[in-house]
A and B are shown apart, each in its own frame.
Chain A
Amino acid sequence: MEYFVQLLLGGLTRGSIYALIALGYTMVYGIIELINFAHGEIYMIGAFTALIVSSVLTLYGFNEFAILVLASLIAVIYSASYGFTVEKIAYKPLRSAPRLSPLISAIGMSIFLQNYVLLAQTSDFLPFPALIPEFNFLKNYEHVFSSSELVIVLTTVIVMTILTLLIKFTKIGKAMRATAQDKKMAMLVGINVNRIISVTFIIGSSLAAIGGILIASHIGQINFNIGFIAGIKAFTAAVLGGIGSIPGAVLGGFVLGWTESFATGYVSSDYEDVFAFALLVLILIFRPAGILSVKCEV
């Protein structure tokens, strides 16, 4: 039983990370129907920026709390800026192009950003400081469920709630939903579509940065290559849950995390990814639009 609970908790953590990245995918896809392959790289840049900032701040002797806050803040700002710029350079000129062109542009951007960080920084793995503090109340359970795992899961749930509320009840959320449904109509009723798309990229990228910082701090190391696998898995999660749906992305992340965790725990980690993809195929055969296929949401 303890084994089962452990696997359940492990899958929950893993799924939360997928979910945080998947949210960005699902939002961008919802609005402009583009698989943003560069999203994984934004996540990596977020983690790298946090590492750089925290290293500099440590050198200047800031205390731990200030480092956590500043590093996360700056990393989020930078990831958002990168997301914004990537959209302006690689996707905006392609609004009216054939559907697959932005996809290739996205793949190109992903390769570019990876190599940019590789060249400007290093190809080696770098240790990432444990930014997330250890809570006292968890001290005796640290080996079952650590503080960083708790923070990861909580952040995901909070972010999902805020995002859902944002899209349901605010003006900008309404504008996003309108843009997602019909760009031309949205323009006609006076919505600045370009601005809405930019905002979507900024929000999605910020979430990726948060995911990047949390996971890097949890596993303690990063390199320029971490975005790729995480990106593909997150995209799988987004499709699994029903791409375009916010709760769907989170649910998809959890389902994927658990599948992998239990597949490793009860079968073999050799075929962990095979199970994940096989599950995806099965779900899509029976529910071709994902678990939570919501039509009208962003």
Chain B
Amino acid sequence: MKCIMNKSCVTIFIIVVISLTLSCTKPDSQPVKVGVAGPHSGDLASYGLPSVKAAELVINEINEKGGVLGKKIELLIEDDVCKPELATNTATKLVSQNVHIILGHICSGATKAALGIYKDSKIPAISPSATNPALTQSGDYPNFFRTIASDDAQAKLEVDFALDVLKLKKIAVLHDKGDYGKGLAEFAKSFIEESGRAELVLYEGITPGAVDYSAVVQKIKASGAGAVIYGGYHPEASKIVMLMRKKKMDTILISDDGVKDITFIKVAGEYAEGVYATGPKDVSMNPLAIKANEAHKKTYGSDPGAFFLNAYAAVQAILNAIEKAGSTDYDKVTKALRTEYVETPLGKIRFDEKGDAIGVGFSMFQVKNGKYVEIN
């Protein structure tokens, strides 16, 4: 054929051969493969990288002891930048590498996009951080588990706290228009309206990254709200609380897990004092948590980041389930996840029918002297 001698033809042939050798994945089922997916680059990397470190720590420890079921454990780490469209690529990549179980994804949107693929391939996924209620409550994803409580539980806690403890009559609800923040705010709104004990005086979304929020702060002031329930992350929350205090307003700020971050206190400084935020129950006294944190400090030389302990617990649950199930078979592993208790830094946990962890919940914290203190 004339084509053989053709330059372009040869080039294409070479490209094909090279990509073939690069992409061929040998179906070697010897080690247990755990996929770790989440944002490892981009602006949300700080939420994804701690879970990679958690997985590395647990798995190195187990591998040194000889692995699980006599097999070594291998980590496959893939970046999804928290984008749904990339998460499907990430998921297919992991599936074609024959992973047995997934730690991830981190963001709820990316998780939803990826779960369909895992479900069809019969791979369980455990997220340390995806809090969207529909993930477990819709019943669409029998392969999904998480080591964090869902958003509605958080919103409920926030609203109950505002009504019962602070006894407020007028509440404003703000959110950052994001998946997480707005979802939470919607729940808070409906809980307030259902209770009928307080008036929802303002319900609004703010633009994250906007240069300032003085107009919305004025609106809060004019609404006469006693407290603002904010759904979103700490950068906007700190801007709002700083502006409110500078404008001499003493409106209480109640926020969520995205704000219960040490960076919030450091950034907002003195203005952070008195802010309430819900977050996973304080486990700093748990000996396993202390051990995990110390291991992180020893290996990486820094304090662990967001969702580190949730991810740590998730990996432990994964390994425990495989061990108890005696294989990496989907049905056996998911059954073991639902029935077998495991000791983790979050306490003794197992998962319920829907996939939520039993024994993992939220409590209310308040900033006191530059620290989050749990309120009982």
A binds B: yes
Q: Hey, which bits of chain A sit against chain B, CB under 8 A?
A: 3, 6-7, 9-11, 13-14, 17-18, 118, 123-127, 142-143, 146, 215, 218-221, 223-226, 228-230, 233, 260-262, 264-265, 268-270, 272-273
Docked complex Cα distance between A15 and B246 (Å): 20
Residues of A within 8 A of B210 (CB): 229, 272
Asked if A11 contacts B242 (CB within 8 A), the reply is no
When chains A and B are docked, how far (Å) is the Cα of A268 from the Cα of B42? 30
Residues on the B chain within 8 Å of A233, using CB: 211
What chain A residues lie within 8 Å of B222 (beta carbons)?
Answer: 3
Q: Taking the nearest CB of chain A, how far is it from the CB of B300, in angstroms?
A: 15
Contact for B266 among A123, A127, A143, A228, CB less than 8 A? A127
Q: Which of B42, B216, B219, B263 contacts A125 (CB 8 A)?
A: B263
Chain A minimum-CB-distance residue to B233: A125
Which of A233, A270, A273 counts the most B-chain CB atoms under 10 A from its CB?
A270
Q: CA–CA, A230 to B209, complex, Å?
A: 8
Contact A10 B239 (CB under 8 A): no
In the complex, what's the smallest C-beta–C-beta distance from B221 to chain A, in angstroms? 8
For A148, give the chain B residue with the smallest CB separation: B246
Interface size on B, residues (CB 8 A): 33
Looking at chain A's contact residues, is the secondary structure mostly helix, strand, loop, or mixed?
A: helix
> Is B9 at the interface (CB under 8 A from chain A)?
no
Residues of B within 8 A of A260 (CB): 215
B46 close to chain A: CB less than 8 A: yes
Shortest CB-to-CB span from B136 to chain A, Å, is 28
Contact check: which of B209, B218, B246 meets A226 at CB < 8 Å? B209
* A13 lies within 8 A of B212 (CB): yes
SS class, residues of chain B in contact with chain A: helix
A174–B206 Cα distance when bound, in Å, is 44
**Inter-chain contacts of A143 with B (CB < 8 A):** 246-248
Nearest residue (CB) in B for A272 is B207
Closest chain B residue, CB of each to CB of A263: B215
Which B-chain residue is minimally distant from A149 (CB atoms)? B214
The 9 listed contacts between A and B (C-beta, < 8 Å) are A10-B214, A124-B46, A125-B238, A127-B266, A218-B212, A219-B211, A225-B209, A233-B211, A272-B210
Q: How far is the CA of A221 from the CA of B206 in the complex (A)?
A: 17
Return chain B residues, CB-CB under 8 Å to A269. 204-207, 215-216, 219
Instruction: Name, among A11, A123, A230, the residue most crowded by chain B CB atoms within 10 Å (CB to CB).
Output: A123
Does B201 sit within 8 A of A, measured CB to CB?
Answer: no
B184 to chain A, nearest CB (A): 16
Q: Which single member of A17, A123, A125, A228 contacts B267 (CB below 8 Å)? A: A125
Residue B45, interface by CB 8 Å: yes
Residue of B whose beta carbon sits closest to that of A260: B215
Known pairs A125-B234, A127-B266; A7 contacts B242 (CB<8 A): no
For A229, list chain B residues within 8 Å (CB): 207, 209-211
User: What chain B residues lie within 8 Å of A225 (beta carbons)?
Assistant: 43, 209
For the complex of A and B, 3 pairs with smallest distance between CB atoms: A10-B214, A264-B215, A143-B248
